[in-house]
Amino acid sequence: MPTHYITLIAAILFEIVATSALNASQQFTRLWPSVIVVIGYCASFYLLSMTLKVMPVGVVYAIWSGVGIVLVAGVGLVLFGQKLDLAAIIGISLILAGVLVINLFSSSSTH
């Protein structure tokens, strides 16, 4: 796997941790989850910027945000008991399908 994809995966993982901690921070009223939010987003954006050296910004952002949405929805379900209705599941599935189309068929994505 090319290193820019590893960097992008790390950016996505930091974003998932930060977004999950954002919920746990209770509107920044709890210190440690708030610290995790700031560190997580800083690390995520730094790593995200590193992938822009070899991939177009639109493709990078689509992958980062799309995969992040899907995984954060899963974290919300597992850790916070946040249920998704059918419309949400369909919408998230379409986002995931878009990310797959970009990665599998787009010549804009660097392979």
The sign of the torsion formed by the CA atoms of 12, 13, 18, 21 equals positive
pLDDT score of 64 more than 90: yes
Task: Yes or no: say if 44 and 15 are a contact pair by the CB < 8 Å rule.
Answer: yes
pLDDT score of 94 more than 80: yes
Q: Which amino acid is at 108?
A: S
Annotated domain spans of the chain: 3-105
Largest CA distance in the chain: 45
d(CA 6, CA 22): 24
pTM over 0.85: yes
| Segment 28-42, tens digit of pLDDT | 999 999 999 999 999
| Segment 4-28, tens digit of pLDDT | 999 999 999 999 999 999 989 999 9
pLDDT score of 111 more than 60: no
Could you tell me the two tokens for 86? Answer: 């059918």
